[in-house]
Amino acid sequence: MALIEYTSLVTLDRPFGIHWWSILNKAFTIIVGSPATDFEFIPHKTTLSTIKESSTLIALYIAVIVGGQELMRNRPAFKLKSAFLLHNLFLTIASLVLLVLFLEQIVPTVARHGFFYSICRVDGGWTQRLEVIYYLTYLSKYIELLDTCFLMLKKKPLTFLHCYHHAATAIFTLMGMKSATPVSWVVASLNLAVHIIMYWYYFQSARGIRVWWKEWITRLQILQFIIDLGFVVFVSYSYYTALYLPWMPRVGSCVADSQIAIAAFTILTSYLVLFTLFYKATYKTNGKSYMRYKSLEQKKKVTLPLCTIID
């Protein structure tokens, strides 16, 4: 169909003037062989739907990086400029499209039923369409693992933060997928919003363009984790008080998963701590520690081991 068939006046159900879901449904049908409207996430049946599958891929990811670093130890770095440009441009566009798809579904729900409904009710924040979009977001986390492969092949420093964040996020996103908690769209949307900016920065950097707002990427990531934690605490409070302490004041009852809530709080807190430490080390001490290691690596005086914390 021509693109014009997917456009319309801006309405509550089409807040961007384009029916992005219809475009996704058409593309999904062409690629998968069935429409997105028929998709259902089924553990042990849907691709990469189990912790075992995800953990296996993450273990392979770590093995490739460890082995790759060893193979690259006495070899010259690859430039890979064109491939790196395409990788970052693809993830910039993919993150933008996924965010738009999320918002297209959420904006009408919030407008008609309120924000609380969208994060606490299954029919508000975990509809079949949102499940499809969240699953695609989850799959994109494996494409993002290529970030590390590029750094390894280009012989750039690999920090513990980088490796841990990529590996943990893939598993964390799967946990959100399996739990089907409505508030997951908030965490996913904030992540996509930050990634649009981050991968656009990487794209510009690969082109040799310096931007003044590099520091703001880390600031936004830190802000993202603070907001995420706020939502996790709010939803957990609403869930537990409704279940065990009904006399406590609350806005209402929320759908939640106790195990996922604990895991989310733990992982997001670890992100917040690590990114804050990284920010202080890189931007609040003039980046001396980071630049010292980077300089040594470039001069081949030392080779950084896998996922070393640069301090």
Mean of pLDDT values over 285-298: 48
Whether 16 is in a domain gets the answer: no
For residues 308 and 112, the model is more confident at 112
> Is a pLDDT exceeding 50 seen at residue 300?
no
Give the pLDDT score at 289.
46
Residue 6, pLDDT score:
73
262, part of any domain = yes
User: Does residue 1 form part of some domain?
Assistant: no
130 lies in some domain: yes
Average pLDDT on 280-304 reads 54
Domains identified in the chain, total number: 1
Residues 43, 178: contact at Cβ < 8 Å?
A: yes
* Predicted pLDDT at 287: 46
More confident residue, 297 or 75: 75
More confident residue, 302 or 238: 238
Q: Is the pLDDT of residue 38 over 50?
A: yes
The residue that leads in pLDDT, 206 or 289, is 206
- 209 within a domain of the structure (yes/no): yes
- The pLDDT of 71-97, averaged and rounded, is 95
For 145-177, what is each residue's pLDDT tens digit?
Answer: 999 999 999 998 888 999 999 999 999 999 999
Q: What is the pLDDT of residue 3?
A: 60
In a domain, 18, yes or no: no
Global confidence as pTM: 0.89
**Domain enclosing residue 159, as ranges:** 50-298
State residue 284's pLDDT score. Answer: 77
Region 291-300: mean pLDDT is 44
**Res 17: pLDDT:** 87
The answer to whether residue 308 sits within a structural domain is no
Taking 90 as the threshold, does the pLDDT of residue 290 lie above it? no
Angle at 137 between CA 277 and CA 162, to 5 degrees: 25
pLDDT, averaged across the chain: 89
Q: What is the pLDDT of residues 2-24, one digit of tens each?
A: 566 677 778 888 888 889 999 99
Q: What is the 3-state secondary structure (H, E, C) of the chain?
A: CCHHHHECCCCCCCCCCECHHHHHHHHHHHHHCCCHHHCCCCCCCCCCCCHHHHHHHHHHHHHHHHHHHHHHCCCCCCCCHHHHHHHHHHHHHHHHHHHHHHHHHHHHHHHHHCHHHHHHCHHHHCCHHHHHHHHHHHHHHHHCCHHHHHHHHCCCCCCHHHHHHHHHHHHHHHHHHHHCCCCHHHHHHHHHHHHHHHHHHHHHHHCCCCCCCHHHHHHHHHHHHHHHHHHHHHHHHHHHHHHHCCCCCCCCCCCCCHHHHHHHHHHHHHHHHHHHHHHHHHHCCCCHHHHHHHHHHHCCCCCCCCCCCCC
Q: Which residues pair with 18 in a beta bridge?
A: 7
The pLDDT score that the predictor gives to residue 2 is 57
Per-residue pLDDT, averaged over 117-135, amounts to 96
pLDDT at 295: 44
310: confidence class by pLDDT, cuts 50, 70, 90: very low
- Tokens at 43, concatenated: 């553990």
Per-residue confidence (pLDDT) for residue 4, from 0 to 100: 65
